[in-house]
Structure 1
Amino acid sequence: MQMVKIGLVTISDRASTGVYEDLGGPAMYDWLTSALSCPWHAVKHIIADEQALIEQTLIKLADEEGCCLILTTGGTGPAKRDVTPEATLAVADKVLDGFAEQMRAVSLKYVPTAILSRQVAVIRNQSLIINLPGKPTAIAECLDAVFPAVPYCIDLIDGPFITTHSDRVQAFRPKHAKQVADE
């Protein structure tokens, strides 16, 4: 079975300088550890809220590191320094609006300010990039909501075959989809 490489990017001025403890990166890592049943490896970055740096990091993870999935946390609000969606869209080949719509819909069940979130999901070459909120509980809620579609999406962009612990997350693949774990 092929090793799955997943990029985890925390985007925060304060966390990148050590002023603030990174909570989002560990939350993404812990969620994936509980959900994935296939061998995987995290490629982690903590960077400042700088659009050019975010773009460079996403391009490196997708094109050079070969990450089939890249999750970001932070920088998706309306504040002046929140530029994660702009950077993500700048490196995108395709936009997948359904991911963002679902994440906002789920988040609205918990906080009315979820309508302020501007996260996006895109495809770059053979990588799925998903912007997540910054709060650890919101990260888990959003991943619970959208991850059932992630393995099949990665299949469709010719990525590795991702499997999940079915008691944690039920990955959905249509009946006609290729069911191959070893290549």
Structure 2
Amino acid sequence: MYKTAILIMSDKGARGERQDESGRQIKESLGLSYRVDYYKIIPDEKEQIMAEICYICDQLAPALLLTSGGTGFSSRDVTPDATREVIEKIVPGIPEAIRYYGLQRTPKAMLSRAIAGIRGKTLIINLPGSVKGVRESLEAVLPALSHGLDILQGAASECGQG
């Protein structure tokens, strides 16, 4: 079971003006192989997002951190920018797979600025803020994710053997 954290970026959600449906969808999509140990909603503030990602990765050390929200074109959408500043390694294939999968359903998928990367032994994946976007993004990556997490956590050998 993979220790998982969920971080939602939503100004209205952080103020209690909107119920978080994307976090619920993340939990539902993950299934039994993932244990959500941390869940928080914060506003779309770059410095706060950076600080929270660092805290989660450095102090709580989950295998997986899924963020939701703040991946679009709005001036308040700063999640990928904050993530980029605190990761140690970029993992471009994950958002590429998400966008490719999404493009099979809507041309708007190309508008996502989401990124993925590694900090310490935590894989961070930016997801969209919509329930549909979260569900489809996780459909795209979950089949391969456990292997990557096992390698990152030191529980599996490298890819391409056999």
What is the TM-score of this pair, normalised by structure 1? 0.81
Q: CA deviation at 1:115?
A: 1.3
Partner of 1:20: 18
Unaligned runs of 5+ in 1: 162-172, 178-183
Determine the C-alpha separation between the residues in 1 that align with 2:71 and 2:36.
25
Determine the C-alpha separation between the residues in 1 that align with 2:105 and 2:54.
33
Does 1:146 find its partner at 2:141? yes
Q: CA deviation at 1:37?
A: 3.5
Contact 2:6–2:36, Cα closer than 8 Å, also in 1: no
Q: CA deviation at 1:159?
A: 5.4
Q: CA deviation at 1:109?
A: 1.8
Determine the C-alpha separation between the residues in 2 that align with 1:100 and 1:117.
9
Determine the C-alpha separation between the residues in 1 that align with 2:5 and 2:36.
9
Contact 2:2–2:33, Cα closer than 8 Å, also in 1: no
SS across alignment from 2:5 = strand
Determine the C-alpha separation between the residues in 2 that align with 1:87 and 1:159.
27
- Residues 25-44 of structure 1 mapped to structure 2, 5 A cutoff: 25-32=23-30, 34=31, 36-37=32-33, 40-44=35-39
Unaligned runs of 5+ in 2: none
Aligned residues, how many?
Answer: 161
Higher radius of gyration, 1 or 2: 1
Determine the C-alpha separation between the residues in 2 that align with 1:94 and 1:153.
14
Pick from 51, 54, 67 the counterpart of residue 59 of structure 1.
54
Q: CA deviation at 1:77?
A: 0.1
Of the structure 1 ranges 69-78 and 130-139, higher mean CA displacement relative to structure 2 is found in 130-139
Instruction: Report the CA distance shift for 1:159/1:80 in structure 2 as closer, same or farther (over 3 A).
Output: farther
Of the structure 1 ranges 78-87 and 137-146, higher mean CA displacement relative to structure 2 is found in 137-146
Q: CA deviation at 1:42?
A: 2.8
Q: CA deviation at 1:20?
A: 1.2
Partner of 1:5: 3
Determine the C-alpha separation between the residues in 2 that align with 1:41 and 1:109.
29
Instruction: Report the CA distance shift for 1:103/1:175 in structure 2 as closer, same or farther (over 3 A).
Output: closer
Partner of 1:164: none
Q: CA deviation at 1:41?
A: 3.4
Q: CA deviation at 1:176?
A: 4.3
Determine the C-alpha separation between the residues in 2 that align with 1:95 and 1:115.
19
Structure (1/2) with the larger helix percentage:
2
SS across alignment from 2:153 = coil
- Which structure 1 residue ranges, 4+ long, deviate > 4 Å from structure 2? 173-177
RMSD: 1.9
Counterpart AA for 2:68: T
Partner of 2:128: 133
Of the structure 1 ranges 76-85 and 152-161, higher mean CA displacement relative to structure 2 is found in 152-161
SS across alignment from 2:47 = helix
What is the TM-score of this pair, normalised by structure 2? 0.91
Percent identity, please.
Answer: 37
Q: CA deviation at 1:158?
A: 2.1
